[in-house]
A = this chain, B = another copy of it.
Amino acid sequence: MSTPGLMMDVPLTTSHLLWRMRAVHPDARVSTVTDASGACRTTTFGAVAERVERLAAALADLGVGAGTRVGSFAWNTQEHLECYYAVMGMGAVLHTINLRLHEDTIAYTVEHARDEVILLDASLAERFLPVLARVRGVRHVVVIGALPDGVEVPDALDYDALLASAGPFTWPELDERSAASLCYTSGTTGHPKGVLYSHRSIVLHALAMAGTDAYGISGRDRVLSIVPMFHAMGWGLPFVCAVAGADLVMPASHLQPGPVSRVVDEQGVTWSCGVPTVWMDVLRHADETAQAGGPPVTLATLRTVISGGTQVPETLMRAYEERFGVDLVQGWGMTEIFPGATLSMDQGAADPERWSHRGAAGRVSPLYELRITGEDGTALPADGTEVGEVEVRGPAVAGAYFAPEVDTADRFHDGWLRTGDVGTLDRHGWLRITDRSKDAIKSGGEWISSVDLEAELMAHDAVREAAVVGRPDPRWSERPFAYVVADAPVTVDELRDFLAARVARWWVPDGYAFVEAIPRTSTGKFDKKVLRARL
């Protein structure tokens, strides 16, 4: 029996979350860190909601309408939060540009997304100008904040001036399946691929993560949003905090351990997140500060940190528990499935498998279904032993890429997304990743494409073949290591310089080995398993 119209057909859109900011939590605070001392400028959800409406009106005046792609190239700030709600709420699509990519790749994503307007953090203008010089289609650049001396952005519009002159705006009623935002995976092979998030998926993810056993954020929390807002919607925090009415502390570019520690202690941060390296650095900074007799890092108010993007070392989790009383919790996700698809929330001292559970990728979160499949694609038993590829489905999981030109059919299987991760699932929904995506290298929580590096290396005259694999690294989790078959004399330094001109600096491999030949699998592909085993 269908229920035509019996329950209200109210769509799940970010506009509802904006309504909560305005009508339920207008006094929740948004603080943006202004300098390395950890000082902040602070406003409220109510004021942000009012500015969001002005921004939407201003963008509409610039011709932004339903489906228009608007790029943001910005740190985590109050204004980036405003961009989120304005662009999505008006039915346009926010492309959160990953500023850590190489400028070639950034230009590729801006072109691929067909961004018409760019919302540009003034402090990043210099980095964006070379991109701007080579893309077509960008009609307007709106600069947020004051440009550094000597930096000019041609025909730029000023963000605050636009807001000041904007009129009122009437929010459209959107289809919950319409696109809200666009995020490119930094990819394991070839060009980045876009994931186009629907309003529905964003709201459902935020609701699931607002759960007691998920992020567990309440209206009394002060959340330091360290994860870049260009990574999988900032792990959903801009939305979860609107659901819960939690304060948001935005670090802008001040992501170094000193400022982060000071912000936590001075702003009374209770909840944070981020890749493990950030929290390793904070720990080391606390030690160094203590040794130098500086003001102690206490993290006294901090309760929970969700970490992920790569395996979180148990030593790190134990150190945070013992020294600071902080639950450093592991989570697992992907751009394609949002973060937190599994979370290893602490089950408490009563759990006999406590540290084993905390070392797992986590337990399946609401709205997600997981399974493990064998080589032949059949589902394996969830017995904690059988190892296979992790597949996931749910209403917040991508069912296709925003890349019709690329054949990605092999990433999907019978209605499930193939994650490329390999692991076990037990009968209580605990996922363990035993092997990460076969070829990709994950360094400091960011993917490095081994295939791209290989292609660049092989572009060097002296290189015949090159294979790049991840070498375990205590700090970055993995760093790229290159096996090179040379045709002519070449030095490691020459290869480094050659790559540095072609890829992001942090992609350049740390280690090199010259070999006679690259081992190959039966199907003729590089046998990276063998190469990794050599390290």
**Chain A: residues with CB nearer than 8 A to chain B?**
1-3, 5-12, 16, 19-20, 23-27, 66-67, 69, 93, 175, 177-179, 195-198, 200-201, 204, 207-208, 210-213, 216-220, 243-245, 347-348, 363-364, 366-367, 369, 382, 393-402, 415, 417, 427-429
Q: Which of chain B's residues have a CB closer than 8 A to the CB of A20?
A: 364, 366, 429
Check B207 against A217 for contact (C-beta < 8 Å).
no
Check A23 against B178 for contact (C-beta < 8 Å).
no
A9 to B397, CA, bound (A): 9
Q: Which of chain B's residues have a CB closer than 8 A to the CB of A201?
A: 7
From DSSP, what is the main secondary structure of chain A's interface residues?
A: loop
A225 to B190, CA, bound (A): 54
Q: How far in angstroms is the closest Cβ of chain B from A437?
A: 20
Stoichiometry (number of copies)? 2
Given contacts A1-B179, A25-B429, is CB(A6)–CB(B200) below 8 Å?
no
Q: Which of chain B's residues have a CB closer than 8 A to the CB of A219?
A: 213, 347
Check B200 against A7 for contact (C-beta < 8 Å).
yes
A245 to B213, CA, bound (A): 9
Check B207 against A10 for contact (C-beta < 8 Å).
no
Q: How far in angstroms is the closest Cβ of chain B from A186?
A: 19
Q: Which of chain B's residues have a CB closer than 8 A to the CB of A200?
A: 7
Check A23 against B347 for contact (C-beta < 8 Å).
no
Q: How far in angstroms is the closest Cβ of chain B from A247?
A: 13
Check B211 against A12 for contact (C-beta < 8 Å).
no
Check B366 against A415 for contact (C-beta < 8 Å).
no
Q: Which of B7, B218, B382 contacts A213 (CB 8 A)?
A: B218
Q: How far in angstroms is the closest Cβ of chain B from A350?
A: 8
A371 to B366, CA, bound (A): 30
Given contacts A394-B10, A399-B5, is CB(A366)–CB(B243) below 8 Å?
yes
Q: Which of chain B's residues have a CB closer than 8 A to the CB of A11?
A: 395
Check A2 against B211 for contact (C-beta < 8 Å).
no
Given contacts A8-B398, A26-B427, is CB(A3)–CB(B178) below 8 Å?
yes
A175 to B220, CA, bound (A): 37
Q: List 20 A-B contacts (CB under 8 A).
A: A2-B67, A3-B177, A3-B179, A6-B398, A6-B400, A7-B198, A8-B417, A12-B204, A16-B369, A20-B366, A23-B369, A24-B364, A24-B428, A25-B429, A207-B208, A210-B211, A211-B211, A211-B243, A213-B219, A213-B244
Q: Which of chain B's residues have a CB closer than 8 A to the CB of A7?
A: 177, 196-198, 200-201, 395-399
Q: How far in angstroms is the closest Cβ of chain B from A87?
A: 12
Check A217 against B212 for contact (C-beta < 8 Å).
yes
Q: Which of B195, B197, B244, B429 contacts A212 (CB 8 A)?
A: B244
Q: How far in angstroms is the closest Cβ of chain B from A14?
A: 13
CB closest residue in chain B, given A427: B26
CB closest residue in chain B, given A210: B211
Q: Which of B9, B243, B428 contacts A27 (CB 8 A)?
A: B428
